[in-house]
Structure 1
Amino acid sequence: MVLKLSSLPKTWIIDLDGTILKHNGYKEGKDELLKGVKEFFNIIPTEDTIIILTSRETKYTDQTINFLKQNKIRYDHIIFDIPYGERILINDKKETGLITAYAINKERNSPFDINFEIDEDL
């Protein structure tokens, strides 16, 4: 999948378990990055904001943050203890017609094969 995005700074809201890390790996004592995650995070522009969401309890905060640091996964905010249900993103569309919100549902624990390209005309 390739998203065509504007050159404006973006906010990335990314789930943790099953999306960028093996689902429930932390419960087995070993987090594991999914294939393609490190490469994807490395191409996110530094001016973009990355928010990671997780249903992990806050008692796993230090373990989780240490793993992300050790693996050089950049983020600006991480939110723990979110509900297990759907995540709903609602945003306005710019007057120019630029779509300002996307939602991608990937298969749990599948490789992170989402890509994007910047279109200067958007």
Structure 2
Amino acid sequence: MELTLSTLPKTWLFDIDGTLVKHNGYKEGGDVLLPGVAGFFSKLPPEDAVILLTARPEASREETEQFLQKNGIRYDKILFGLPTGERILVNDDKPTGLSMGHAVRKDRDAPLSIDVRIDSAL
């Protein structure tokens, strides 16, 4: 998947299970980071915000945060206890025509593969 984005700072929203780590790994002996995740996160500019979303219960916060920190996955906020249904991003486009809402779907437990191209003309 390739995203062509502007030079503006971004907000990234990531589900945890099946997107960043093996789905329900925390229930089956411990989380396992999926291929591509560490590399992708290492390239995120520091001015970008990262918000993690999960249906995991609040009781799993400490274990989850320790795993993420140990694996160098930075984030600004984590929301626990979310519903297990669809996640919908709704955002308005800029009057210039810049598209401000993007969605990336991936197969559960597949490697994270997002190529970001920055276009200074946007």
- Seq. identity, %: 53
- CA drift of 1:115 comes to 1.4
1:76 equivalent in structure 2? 76
1:113 equivalent in structure 2? 113
1:51 equivalent in structure 2? 51
* AA aligned opposite 1:11: T
Runs of 4+ deviating beyond 4 Å: none
CA distance in 1, matches of 2:72, 2:43: 13
Q: TM (normalized to structure 2)?
A: 0.98
Q: TM (normalized to structure 1)?
A: 0.98
CA distance in 2, matches of 1:43, 1:14: 15
Please give the residue correspondences for 1:1-40 in structure 2 after superposition, counting only pairs within 5 Å: 1-40=1-40
CA distance in 1, matches of 2:48, 2:18: 23
CA distance in 2, matches of 1:23, 1:87: 16
Q: CA RMSD, aligned part only?
A: 0.5
Structure 1: gaps of 5 or more residues: none
Deviation readout 1:44-89 (Å, 9 max, x if unpaired)? 1100000000000011000000000000100000000000000111
